[in-house]
Each structure stands twice: as C-alpha cells, then as structure tokens.
C-alpha cells in the first residue's frame, strides 16, 4: 500500500477545500461545476475528460458564485489560489512541508484537516494524518480506540514517521465495512475488521500469518512501525515485511502488539 499522490497539487488543494463538510459525491459535484465554468475545454474529449482544471491565477480572479460554494469557501479558494499563483505556497513533494503547512493554515477557511490532507496527497508527506477526519475517528473507535481526535493522535505517535499509512489502513477498513454501516456493533470478532487489522499488522512486521489468522484482541494494539531500511523489502501483493521480529504472544492467544 502506498499513499496516493496527485499530479496537480493545486487541483488537490482546491478539491480538499470544496470537500469540507460535504459528502464525497457533493465535493465531486462542486469540482465538476468549477471545471466546467473556468477550465479550458480540450480540442477533443479524452475518454470522459473534456476540460483542463483551471490554473491558480484563473481561479483567483474568477467569479465563483453560482457553483454552490458558501461565502467562506469562496474566500478560502480565492486566497489559496492567489497565494499559489504568486509563489507564496508551493504544493509539490519538493516543498518545505512545515513552511507550507503554516502557510496553508494562515488561509482563512483552511484548518488542520485540510492542511494535513493536502500534505498527505499533494506533498507526499508520509507522516501527515488528518486527525479530525470523521472516517478515521469512526474506524479507530470500531477497532477499540477513542472517538476523540486526541485519542487517535496519542496512539498514532507510535506510527511515526509513517502515520499517513496508518490513516490509509483505517480508511480501507471503512471501505471494506461498506461505508461503516456496521461499525457500532463491532466487538473485535468482525471478519472484515479482522482482515483489515491483520493486514496492518503484517505490513508493520508485528505478527506472522499463522499468528494473525487467530482471533485478535478487541482493543486496538500499540502498533510499532518498521525500520525504514526494511521498506524496500515490502511486497505489494501480501503487504508483508520480511525479516522483522515477530509479535509477542499473549496468554489469551496471538496478539498484534509488540
């Protein structure tokens, strides 16, 4: 598993702002309206792609009314676009992560969730995690953690410097749960949750396949992150890191904690 990047950091940032406090489908609809209003039409459609995403200077000077955005969102998009167009904010993997995060947080309407999501996707930051994300909090709660962001934040300290990967595994758990419809009834025995957490344990070198095939504790374990030197041995097919110390076996059976 790898953190998915984006070929255009500005587009990703705009989509993140427009996706605040709306459904995924709602955010996609707003982005489509923006592209059709301000984007450049291609001479010929490329599959379903008919327009190019508008450049920062175009969005900065455009009339953004009629798309369905709130006034605060319009203000945030204008300031973000202006900062990117003027070179005050750089949204690519080569940018200074801390400085860019500070610059993003200085834009009214961009908070920690948006800044961290942009860092994860546009800047390829392997340690960014949007701690207030509703999906992450629900998945963490389902796996025995706290529903409060500070609980996830404290637990994720053990995932550094790879917290983005922990976030991805939690999102994958939600997807496998069918958008979390059955999360309130989770008690540590759900097969989907077990598979998700087991893969997480494999990828972190916390357990063997034999050990992970048995029941897991309902409490989310304290996950250890692998030695960065072992990342090159990662197999995409099995999400397994070779030559990592096995987990400690608990009296109640095989655990995933170290």
Identify the residue with better confidence: 194 or 105. 105
**Residue 199: its pLDDT value, please?**
53
Averaged pLDDT for residues 31-35: 96
| Residue 181 banded pLDDT, cuts 50, 70, 90 | low
How wide is the angle at C-alpha 76 spanned by C-alphas 73 and 79, nearest 5°? 150
* Top-confidence residue, 135 or 196: 135
Could you tell me the residue ranges of all domains in the chain? 9-121, 134-254
- In this structure, how many other beta carbons lie within 10 angstroms of the beta carbon of residue 154? 13
What is the architecture of the domain spanning 9-121? Answer: Orthogonal Bundle (1.10)
Q: How confident is the model at residue 248 (pLDDT cuts 50, 70, 90)?
A: very low
The answer to whether 212 and 189 are in contact (CB under 8 A) is no
pLDDT in tens, 131-174: 999 999 999 998 999 888 899 999 999 999 999 999 999 999 88
């Amino acid at each position: 598993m790898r953190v998915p990047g984006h070929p255009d950091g500005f587009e990703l940032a705009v989509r993140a702002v427009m996706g605040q406090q709306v459904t995924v489908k709602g955010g996609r609809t707003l982005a489509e309206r923006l592209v059709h209003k301000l984007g450049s039409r291609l001479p010929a459609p490329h599959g379903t792609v008919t327009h190019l995403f508008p450049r920062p200077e175009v969005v900065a000077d455009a009339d953004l009314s009629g798309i369905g955005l709130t006034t605060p969102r319009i203000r945030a998009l204008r300031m973000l676009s202006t900062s990117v167009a003027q070179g005050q904010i750089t949204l690519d993997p080569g940018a200074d992560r801390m400085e860019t995060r500070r610059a993003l947080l200085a834009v009214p309407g961009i908070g920690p969730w948006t800044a961290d999501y942009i860092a994860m996707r546009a800047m390829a930051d392997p340690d960014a995690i949007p701690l207030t994300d509703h999906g992450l909090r629900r998945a963490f709660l389902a796996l025995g953690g706290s529903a409060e962001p500070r609980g996830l934040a404290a637990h994720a300290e053990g995932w550094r410097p790879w917290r983005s990967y922990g976030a991805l595994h939690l999102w994958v758990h939600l997807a496998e749960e069918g958008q979390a419809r059955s999360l309130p009834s989770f008690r540590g025995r759900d097969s989907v949750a077990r598979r998700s957490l087991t893969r997480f344990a494999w990828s972190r070198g916390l357990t063997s396949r034999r050990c992970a095939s048995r029941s897991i504790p309902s409490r989310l374990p304290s996950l250890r992150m692998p030695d960065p030197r072992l990342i090159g041995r990662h197999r995409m097919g099995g999400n397994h890191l070779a030559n990592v110390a096995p987990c400690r076996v608990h009296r109640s059976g095989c655990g995933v904690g170290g």
